[in-house]
Amino acid sequence: MSAAVADPSGSSMSWLFHTKSPIGMIWRHRELISQLVRRELTQRYKGSYLGVLWSYVTPLAMLAIYTLVFSVVLKVQWDVGPQDSAAGSFALVLFAGLIPFTVFSDVVSQSPNLILAVPSYVKKVVFPLEVLPVVIVCAAIIQSLISVAILVVAALAVTGSIPATIVLLPLAYLPLVFLCLAAGWLLSALGVYLRDLRQAIPILVQVLLFLSCLFYPVSAVPQSLRFLLFLHPLTVILYSFRRAAVWGTSLEWVPWAEWTAITFALAIAGWALFIRIKPGFADAI
């Protein structure tokens, strides 16, 4: 390893890949993370009759319900272009936004109890606790890929084609990953000391659900209140998913770049807080 990478006091870019940085930590424990992710996904449906098939049944059922309610019963349309005339187009737009929201809500819902659920790791075993938020983020992302596959097939059935911009979806995921890592490290660390977080987070998730542009476009919000949507942590991410996977338009690069940089900084801050207060976990538990 070069001196620049080995020296944490060097440039900020060198520090990012240092073994004590979050990226270096993830790379160093990549095999452990991989094993824990596989265990997390396996245990999620352990003991159920359908097992991993629930990963397909749940998003398929949701897409079918959204199509029936919004496109057939309510006949709602989203003013984004000529594809609005296609039956089921609103359901596709809604489902595309629900994918990143589900990832985020899954992570923030699990995080407050993440460290408390494994006291043996904290007290008796030398274990890198900071990998646990990474594990639930990875599991949520992998789970979401099944929904993405269903969305692509549904888009083909509804519109007759798959947008070429689907190749931009990994870029749409980038700020989502950073945001989830930030929330995972922050909430799992604070959850050790603030036990009320477990009760508060479900309320917060519901608030974020209805204050997001998940069920309505930004244009439906009064101009005087529209700034609130752009304070929402998922607005840019939701629209990026829709642009790439449904609307066939390029990402809005300036908002995407700004939010990617902000969420990356938040992830670094969340990890730093986790590492800082981690020594007190054993006493708090």
What total of structural domains would you count in the chain? 1
Domain that holds residue 128: 29-284
* CA dist., res. 252 & res. 243, Å (int): 9
Q: What angle do CA 257, 258, 262 make, to 5 degrees?
A: 115
**Element spanning 128, H or E:** none
Residue type, 50: L
- Any domain includes 3: no
- Any domain includes 5: no
- Any domain includes 23: no
pLDDT tens digits for 211-264?
A: 888 888 887 788 888 888 878 899 999 999 999 999 999 999 999 999 999 999
Nearest to 156 by CA among 66, 71, 246: 246
- Any domain includes 12: no
- Any domain includes 104: yes
Q: Look at residue 3 in the predicted model and tell me its pLDDT.
A: 40
- Any domain includes 125: yes
* CA dist., res. 121 & res. 114, Å (int): 11
Q: Look at residue 17 in the predicted model and tell me its pLDDT.
A: 58
Q: Look at residue 109 in the predicted model and tell me its pLDDT.
A: 96
- Any domain includes 89: yes
Q: Look at residue 47 in the predicted model and tell me its pLDDT.
A: 63
Q: Look at residue 234 in the predicted model and tell me its pLDDT.
A: 94
Contact predicate 55/143, CB 8 Å = yes
**Strand, helix or coil for residue 162:** coil
Nearest to 242 by CA among 10, 84, 113: 84
Counting as low any pLDDT under 70, the low residues of the chain are 1-19, 47-52, 71, 75-88
Q: Look at residue 181 in the predicted model and tell me its pLDDT.
A: 98
- Any domain includes 205: yes
Q: Look at residue 230 in the predicted model and tell me its pLDDT.
A: 78
Q: Look at residue 77 in the predicted model and tell me its pLDDT.
A: 67
Q: Look at residue 192 in the predicted model and tell me its pLDDT.
A: 95
